[in-house]
């Protein structure tokens, strides 16, 4: 049985019917007409790019935030009042 791509409540290829199998998962779509539509190609591209961005952000973000937290902790451990350097939200005392 052919599986169609469903987007915004309609089939991408334009077929109609109550007994047609449809999905929003790209790997399960078997209809060649659906796979060749701009809606399917754009949605697949957007999902792939979003996954790449999420992977890149997950790889970079923790390293970028850890040094700031470590610096705040280091200044907090020092005796007396210490000022945070520029770029730390208004240079408050720690």
Write the pLDDT tens digit of every residue in 60-85: 656 556 777 787 778 778 777 776 66
In a domain, residue 91? The reply is no
Domain count, the chain: 1
In a domain, residue 85? The reply is no
Identify whether the C-beta of residue 1 lies closer than 8 Å to the C-beta of residue 21.
Answer: yes
Give the full edge-to-edge strand order of the sheet including 10-11: 10-11, 3-7, 21-23
Pick the range with the lowest mean pLDDT from 7-16, 37-46, 71-80: 71-80
Residue 33 scores a pLDDT above 90:
yes
- Residues of the domain holding 51: 3-77
State the Cα–Cα distance between residues 37 and 69, nearest whole angstrom.
48
Q: Which pLDDT value is given to residue 39? A: 94
Q: Which pLDDT value is given to residue 51? A: 95
């Amino acid at each position: 049985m052919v599986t169609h791509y469903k987007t915004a409540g309609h089939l991408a290829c334009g077929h109609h019917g109550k007994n047609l199998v449809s999905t929003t998962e790209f790997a399960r779509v078997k209809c060649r007409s659906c796979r060749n539509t701009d809606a399917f190609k754009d949605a697949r591209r957007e999902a792939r790019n979003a996954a790449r961005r999420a992977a890149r952000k997950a790889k970079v973000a923790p390293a970028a935030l850890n040094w700031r937290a470590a610096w705040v902790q280091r200044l907090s451990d020092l005796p007396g009042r210490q000022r945070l350097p520029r770029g730390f939200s208004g240079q408050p005392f720690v």
